[in-house]
Structure 1
Amino acid sequence: MKTMQDFYVFLETAKQGSFSKAANVLDLTPAAVSATIKRLETQLDTMLFVRSTRNLRITAEGERFREKCQIAVDAIEEGIQLLNQKEDVLQGDIKLSMPSDIGRNLILPWIDEFMDQHPQISISVVLSDSLTNMYTEPVDAAIRYGIPGDSTMVALPICQENQRVVCASPHFLQTSRDIRHPTDLEALNCLSFMLFSANHSRWRFFQGQDWTEVKVSGNRKANDGDVVKRWVVAGKGIGYKSLLDVSEELLAGKLIRLLTDWHGEPAPLYLVCPDRRQLTPELRILREFLAEKCQNQWIRCEKLPR
């Protein structure tokens, strides 16, 4: 499939911004990559890249072609993968990174259910609140909050409606003042998550077109989201957590959602991977399974009385 190979070369060159870097990834020579791009430009009668002695920049026409080219390549690859599936049996190994709290307390039981349905799939899990470097670490995909800053990453939605919520245990609320406005939090013990020594102590809230940000403080901080939640459940203070992270505790009455007239910061959940070629049928089915589970969990929490 000569055309497919040319498309791969073009997409990798656009991604790397360099003939030599693309050649290194594709195990080709820079001359072969350059010749392929020239051939494509001749066939399309369009300049795809602007070259100089030191730089390579994709043109506006090249950018438009890249979008359509990626769609075409993805569709063909998905068709090939489907043809190669034997008797629709999903099999293989998935290496998956995920945040500590939602991974340990919510997603792991769902993965057990998924593997019961697909016994020929094996899954390796990495639990960490630090962002796994997916270009250097041996993982196929990661479950992450928020759209990745790296625009070359592929991000498939799992629960886009998810947001952060303020919550506390019934015991803590028995001994604390009324909380009617986000600024009331400034006088209370708020438990923070920290990452790489950066303390997430600025909590933002939205109400219609209005928004406010409060600087909170407290006597406990942790670089593990699960630890913060355990403290909140134990009545040690107030937390600002992803709704999905605390969903089981909210449903069980172990935590109570506060400031329900305000919306916390968006915390959309995505399945992220470096390249669409890593989206195997097994990984796509797992993403769909988790998306359905998360959506149902979010709906159950949204139905709780406020």
Structure 2
Amino acid sequence: MKAFADLVLFVRAADAGSLSAAARALDISPAAASATLKRLEAELHAQLFVRSTRSLRLTSEGERFLQHAREALRAIDEGEQALRGDQAVLRGSLQLSMPSDLGRSLVLPWLDGFLAAHPQVQLRANLSDHFADVYRQPVDVALRYGPPPDSSLIALPLRADNRRVLCASPDYLRRHGEPADPQELAERNCLRMLIRGETQDRWRLTRGDDVRDLRVRGDRVSDDGHAVKRWALAGHGIAFKSWLDVSQEVLAGQLRVLCRDWRGEPAPLNLVCPDRRLLSPLVQRLREFLRERFEAIAPPPE
């Protein structure tokens, strides 16, 4: 399938930003890779890359074609797996975006086991607390908290009952005391997140019909959730984190949940993708793998 091989080379070169790197990955010579790319451009009557001696970048035509090339390769891969039946060996590449802290704390160690069980799967992990644009960025699926910002996205639940919790280290609480009421947060050093350029300085907690919408302050702000947790573990203040992010540290006694009779904001975790056609056997198996592990985590202490 010469057309298939041409598409594979094109996608590999786009991902690597290098034709020679794509050639090495596919075990072909740089000359053969260059000839393949020239043939593909001639067939499409379009220039896909701007080349120099040190770099390779997509043209606007190349960026548009890349989306279709990825979809074509996925469709071929799904067709091959369908022909082999339900017990076919999972294979193919997957680009997964996930929140920084969740990825480092839980998902990456879990994925080691998933990849060991499916050695023909290749993974590209993107750890960031910026919501990945799954339409424009080279991302197949994304793990994200809360409803997706675009209602046209497909959101598959992984842990629907997850919520945020107030937490701090035992060392911080020894030095400053444990707050008995959320209102005391106004006098504490609160470790805040920066999301989409806005500091998250309003924390909402509820107890029955009582709702506290609190404005908090502190000396530290980060756009990286893992950094916020590290500050909390080091005793620098109080964090308002997803329970999934801090469950291990709470169970280990490194962090303590505060104001337990108050409930933090809901933070349901979903696996997000732009189109149901992208729900390949690989994505569906990964979703089930992750859902089982997230649902096995005990809820926050009451």
TM-score by structure 1 length? 0.70
For 1:148-159, what aligned pairs fall within 5 Å after superposition? 148-159=148-159
Q: Secondary structure at the match of 1:194?
A: strand
What residue in structure 1 maps to residue 293 of structure 2? 293
The answer as to 2:166 corresponding to 1:166 is yes
Aligned-partner Cα distance in 2 for 1:168–1:243: 13
Structure 2 unmatched runs, 5+: 1-77
Runs of 4+ in structure 1 deviating by more than 2 angstroms, as ranges, are 79-88
Aligned-partner Cα distance in 2 for 1:229–1:250: 12
Amino acid aligned to 1:291: R
What residue in structure 1 maps to residue 107 of structure 2? 107
Q: Secondary structure at the match of 2:190?
A: coil
What residue in structure 2 maps to residue 83 of structure 1? 82
Aligned-partner Cα distance in 2 for 1:85–1:170: 55
Instruction: Give the C-alpha shift of residue 207 in structure 1.
Output: 1.0
CA displacement, residues 273-306 of structure 1 (integer Å, 9 cap, x when unaligned): 0000001011011011111111112x2x54x5x5
Aligned-partner Cα distance in 2 for 1:184–1:85: 61
CA displacement, residues 210-242 of structure 1 (integer Å, 9 cap, x when unaligned): 211110000111110000000000000000000
Stretch moving more, 185-194 or 206-215: 206-215
Q: Is the 8 A contact 2:178 2:258 kept in 1?
A: no
The answer as to 2:191 corresponding to 1:183 is no
Aligned-partner Cα distance in 1 for 2:136–2:239: 33
Amino acid aligned to 2:189: N
What residue in structure 1 maps to residue 213 of structure 2? 213
Q: Secondary structure at the match of 2:227?
A: helix
The answer as to 2:197 corresponding to 1:197 is yes
Identity value in percent: 46
CA displacement, residues 113-153 of structure 1 (integer Å, 9 cap, x when unaligned): 11111111111111111111111101101000011121110
Let me know the Cα RMSD of the aligned residues.
Answer: 1.6
Instruction: Give the C-alpha shift of residue 81 in structure 1.
Output: 7.9
The answer as to 2:124 corresponding to 1:124 is yes
Instruction: Give the C-alpha shift of residue 82 in structure 1.
Output: 6.5
Q: Is the 8 A contact 1:81 1:280 kept in 2?
A: no
Instruction: Give the C-alpha shift of residue 209 in structure 1.
Output: 2.3
Instruction: Give the C-alpha shift of residue 102 in structure 1.
Output: 0.3
Aligned-partner Cα distance in 1 for 2:280–2:115: 16
TM-score by structure 2 length? 0.71
The answer as to 2:97 corresponding to 1:97 is yes
Q: Secondary structure at the match of 1:247?
A: helix
- The count of corresponding residues between Structure 1 and Structure 2 is 224
Structure 1 unmatched runs, 5+: 1-78
Aligned-partner Cα distance in 2 for 1:80–1:122: 18
Q: Secondary structure at the match of 2:296?
A: helix
Aligned-partner Cα distance in 2 for 1:178–1:109: 33
CA displacement, residues 70-114 of structure 1 (integer Å, 9 cap, x when unaligned): xxxxxxxxx978733454211111110011000112100001111
Q: Is the 8 A contact 2:143 2:270 kept in 1?
A: yes
Q: Is the 8 A contact 1:165 1:264 kept in 2?
A: yes
Aligned-partner Cα distance in 1 for 2:246–2:262: 17
Amino acid aligned to 1:259: C
